[in-house]
Chain A
């Protein structure tokens, strides 16, 4: 946090100065460790073993915040008798189908609800379409009236299921798997539990490298389970905080430029699941079920009205038929492989540099070299625009400029100072930026580019009667133009469209609760409704921090409904009283008959704590006055997830897709549902029980430097930053340096089945060899900022990484892998290819090799 989010880290230091204990768990000692009370080195890729150990500590010592757990989580709910755990099935949950590599989730359901479970076909479709992402704003649906045991003694209740699942995650296992000594691990457990409860809360902060694992979603689930058990969710000083790494990466998920989502986490239609408008809407809102999902039809119709205006009517299902349909996985990695296979004609890169920033750089560049055309929009010349000229494959002879057909347009972009608009920062807060100056030369905003591209397309198709063009021609695209050149759409107009209108009066909506399913309202992203409340740009609010409360509710605007801490109903007890004076945040005022406090209550304002839903209630009405997690189908925080996840209802330790450690907990080595692209150009280093894992005997991980930003396009081009961090390096321990003959400040090169890259060696004791099982595991750390363009250049760490994805969200495993390291520079030219091929052959990665996703007892342990 101190390295990559230094300004946010000031609050950790402030808390420390006020007596908070700071613990840092990381494979590498960093500036964060330097300021922490306790630093815990850990093996990359073993986080669920560690967190599972904490869960086991909490449950076996009954350290949970029992009153909170009973009232606000699903601990007491009974799970189906048909459910079988990984502990019984060698690392698989019940319902696994080796054919599809997916689960039939029926047996994961609550007792009596097995019919509600996903079948494997649905589960398979969900993986292909990364449906887990839909739950960013609201949980998956579950039925009401689940049998419960408030004593938590029934062996089928979630509490007991969880306890059994983690019983083997003992301090000894944590030590064997993570390399964390027992006493150090117990120190963390004791500190975490002692600092949680009625009077105190603990915050869990992760950086989004956590998402870049084949079990990434389950890492975060494991953190959430701990925070729920300890009563740290929805309360001040608690929570699970994600440190996101791009100015508006939260915004680009909320208003997605993602294949599987529409704004506000509505799913993109799937050709089979959502053939009709009614199927689509009912798949989102799940009639008969509880929670705010129930109003999804209003959000969906309002979006279609924002897109298609008057052309969207009840008679034509509001233009639903014009939306394109998914048939499976259309994610960025599938796209890159399709580019290599010649299936994709044109590619737009909008402030993104996949040649350096995405996993498997070589696949990225070879894919781009096989397009008809490529449009790159950026501030500086980036590697993704020059792969045909002087990229690594030009050096090896794999790309010959005179033979590379890709037509490339480089269009310079406007910077953040040259356009107005909102970023959504990592706590869901929108902040409006004023335009400072006009962009120079040919530089233009994306707003300009896409408005005019749309205008040109519509002009060219104006006379078309083809059904395929109807959506484009019916699109509301009449944005008034402004600016010095008189050709720039106004960001504020677009923000208003996102907020939505009452169409009869033209009044901007003040809340998504005003949206209607009859076409009388519009709104481009329902969770952002309210950002233009009262006709005022709420994201532009800038009341100085010194003139308002510590919650700072008058600075910017946070979704949903300007709530700064989500689920803050949980900061009060079931009766609506603060858990303690010290941790007071939002509470019920019986005299006024409403929720009040320091923040906007994340609850219906006048629903009393005593409210109980009438028999047969659905939707919002079915949420009790003591159910704080109002976006969940049952209003509860989920310790156990009966649906919504592809790879299991509880996080389970699997080894990374590439590991030199045999999973000591289960026969199953790696996540059996991980998304694999089994191709000869995307090989995976062998892991036990496969043979030859010793060819790549070291663990490596990558992350950021304070002075650089992601793929370097915004940092390696700047003189100050380039001077501060001038060169690509690999950091190793003195022990590993001795083992491989690496010299401090000398050269070394790292090799995987994909590539070999070189870097300067930095020998420090910030990396500590770990004892895992009966061997020493060395970890290598690298920044991933370098490439061939810019003031400072170097090899790209992401070239080392292959494409294996988390099944829930299709994010790649790029924070852990195996490699070899050797002293000296790597070979150059065609010799480099031969060198990497030599490694592949020694590792048994020969033509016809396949890495099995599933290991079964009768399967030979050889490749």
Chain B
């Protein structure tokens, strides 16, 4: 290590001679921090997204490397949020990557005291069977005066305010066509 390098190794020297007189940026950087690279720089791709919590609609940039979300940042282009996120939006990467997240279908039999695992296709098939059975058991063709009802009151659904418009559209479309009317979401709450 030469004398010059040794002197330049002092933050105070860099602070006095460089572009960072307050010593809050380049002057305070160590060898190690200089060698670090932000995850946002090494990401393979960036998706333009929107925060999933409240309805302000802050812009998010989701950074992906090797098929995994590695970072979520506020989108500085957004006229809504100007790059800012609140504590929840800032924590939203954990929403995707947390170990606590459920990644398997779970099934609780009637009267069981615990969960068991179930194959997704089997679960879908079982649910379809139950929907049709509930519908058949509770179907109403007409009211007492013969006016059409064409419905079931045996099936309910709650949820939608955290979902996409396209999803709500399919939910309402399918339930309406099958005659299920008890479809609700947080907007009623």
Against A, the Cβ 8 Å flags (1 = close, 0 = not) of B76-106 are: 1111111011111111101110101111111
Whether B181 sits at the interface, judged by CB under 8 Å, is yes
Whether B7 sits at the interface, judged by CB under 8 Å, is no
Q: Is the CB of B156 within 8 A of A471?
A: no
Q: Is the CB of B158 within 8 A of A4?
A: no
Q: Determine the distance from Cα of A40 to Cα of B57 in the docked complex, in whole angstroms.
A: 29
Known contacts A349-B159, A497-B169; decide if A7 and B58 are in contact (CB<8 Å): yes
Interface of B is mostly: mixed
Residue among A402, A434, A471, A528 with most chain B CB within 10 A: A434
Instruction: State the Cβ distance, A792 to closest chain B Cβ, in Å.
Output: 12
Whether B28 sits at the interface, judged by CB under 8 Å, is no
Instruction: State the Cβ distance, B46 to closest chain A Cβ, in Å.
Output: 8
Q: Determine the distance from Cα of A467 to Cα of B49 in the docked complex, in whole angstroms.
A: 43
Q: Determine the distance from Cα of A26 to Cα of B126 in the docked complex, in whole angstroms.
A: 49
Q: Please name all residues of chain B whose beta carbon is closer than 8 Å to the beta carbon of A468 when the two chains form the complex.
A: 139, 141, 150, 179
Known contacts A429-B57, A468-B179; decide if A255 and B169 are in contact (CB<8 Å): yes
Known contacts A257-B171, A555-B78; decide if A453 and B131 are in contact (CB<8 Å): yes
Q: Please name all residues of chain A whose beta carbon is closer than 8 Å to the beta carbon of B189 when the two chains form the complex.
A: 212, 332, 357-359, 811-812
Whether A720 sits at the interface, judged by CB under 8 Å, is yes
Whether A421 sits at the interface, judged by CB under 8 Å, is yes
Q: Is the CB of A442 within 8 A of B103?
A: yes
Whether A772 sits at the interface, judged by CB under 8 Å, is no
Q: Please name all residues of chain B whose beta carbon is closer than 8 Å to the beta carbon of A408 when the two chains form the complex.
A: 106-108
Which of B78, B95, B158, B187 makes the CB contact (< 8 A) with A347? B158
Residue of A nearest to B107 (CB): A409
- B interface list, Cβ under 8 A from A: 45, 47-59, 62, 64, 67-69, 72, 76-82, 84-92, 94-96, 98, 100-115, 118, 120, 123-134, 137-139, 141, 143, 147-174, 176-189
Q: Determine the distance from Cα of A402 to Cα of B91 in the docked complex, in whole angstroms.
A: 38
Whether A717 sits at the interface, judged by CB under 8 Å, is yes
Whether A481 sits at the interface, judged by CB under 8 Å, is no
Q: Determine the distance from Cα of A402 to Cα of B111 in the docked complex, in whole angstroms.
A: 4
Q: Please name all residues of chain A whose beta carbon is closer than 8 Å to the beta carbon of B58 when the two chains form the complex.
A: 7
Residue of A nearest to B81 (CB): A7
Whether A498 sits at the interface, judged by CB under 8 Å, is yes
Q: Is the CB of A259 within 8 A of B110?
A: no
Stretch at the interface among A76-84, A371-379, A646-654, A753-761: A371-379
Which of B129, B131, B166 makes the CB contact (< 8 A) with A421? B166
Q: Determine the distance from Cα of A497 to Cα of B128 in the docked complex, in whole angstroms.
A: 25
Q: Is the CB of A415 within 8 A of B95?
A: yes
Known contacts A327-B143, A332-B188, A425-B80; decide if A450 and B170 are in contact (CB<8 Å): yes
Q: Determine the distance from Cα of A475 to Cα of B169 in the docked complex, in whole angstroms.
A: 13
Whether A441 sits at the interface, judged by CB under 8 Å, is yes
| 9 interchain pairs, CB-CB under 8 A | A246-B54, A247-B50, A248-B55, A351-B159, A425-B57, A430-B165, A434-B47, A437-B64, A437-B96
Q: Is the CB of A475 within 8 A of B177?
A: yes
Q: How many A-B residue contacts, CB cutoff 8 Å?
A: 477
Q: Please name all residues of chain B whose beta carbon is closer than 8 Å to the beta carbon of A436 when the two chains form the complex.
A: 45, 47, 49, 62, 64, 69
Given A252-B186, A416-B52, list of 13 further CB < 8 A pairs?
A: A7-B56, A243-B54, A257-B171, A335-B182, A350-B157, A408-B106, A410-B107, A415-B96, A421-B164, A443-B101, A461-B132, A545-B79, A718-B94
Known contacts A418-B96, A426-B55, A436-B62; decide if A263 and B147 are in contact (CB<8 Å): no
Q: Determine the distance from Cα of A544 to Cα of B48 in the docked complex, in whole angstroms.
A: 12
Which of A422, A446, A706 makes the CB contact (< 8 A) with B87? A706
Known contacts A332-B188, A335-B182; decide if A410 and B100 are in contact (CB<8 Å): no
Residue among B90, B152, B167 with most chain A CB within 10 A: B167
Assign chain A's interface to a size class: 35 or more
Q: Is the CB of B101 within 8 A of A344?
A: no
Whether A689 sits at the interface, judged by CB under 8 Å, is no
Q: Determine the distance from Cα of A550 to Cα of B82 in the docked complex, in whole angstroms.
A: 12
Q: Is the CB of B88 within 8 A of A707?
A: yes
Q: Is the CB of B156 within 8 A of A344?
A: yes
Q: Is the CB of A259 within 8 A of B49?
A: no
Q: Is the CB of B164 within 8 A of A447?
A: yes
Q: Is the CB of B130 within 8 A of A717?
A: no
Whether A35 sits at the interface, judged by CB under 8 Å, is no
Residue of A nearest to B150 (CB): A324
Against B, the Cβ 8 Å flags (1 = close, 0 = not) of A377-401 are: 1111100000011000000000001
Whether A191 sits at the interface, judged by CB under 8 Å, is no
Stretch at the interface among A166-174, A268-276, A729-737: A268-276
Q: Please name all residues of chain B whose beta carbon is closer than 8 Å to the beta carbon of A412 when the two chains form the complex.
A: 101-105
Q: Is the CB of A379 within 8 A of B102?
A: yes
Residue of B nearest to A490 (CB): B166
Q: Please name all residues of chain A whose beta carbon is closer than 8 Å to the beta carbon of B110 when the two chains form the complex.
A: 404-407
Q: Is the CB of A349 within 8 A of B164?
A: no
Q: Determine the distance from Cα of A354 to Cα of B156 in the docked complex, in whole angstroms.
A: 13
Known contacts A252-B185, A307-B176, A344-B154; decide if A720 and B91 are in contact (CB<8 Å): yes
| 8 A-B pairs with the lowest CB-CB distances in the bound complex, closest first | A425-B57, A350-B159, A421-B164, A441-B103, A324-B151, A257-B160, A552-B79, A244-B55
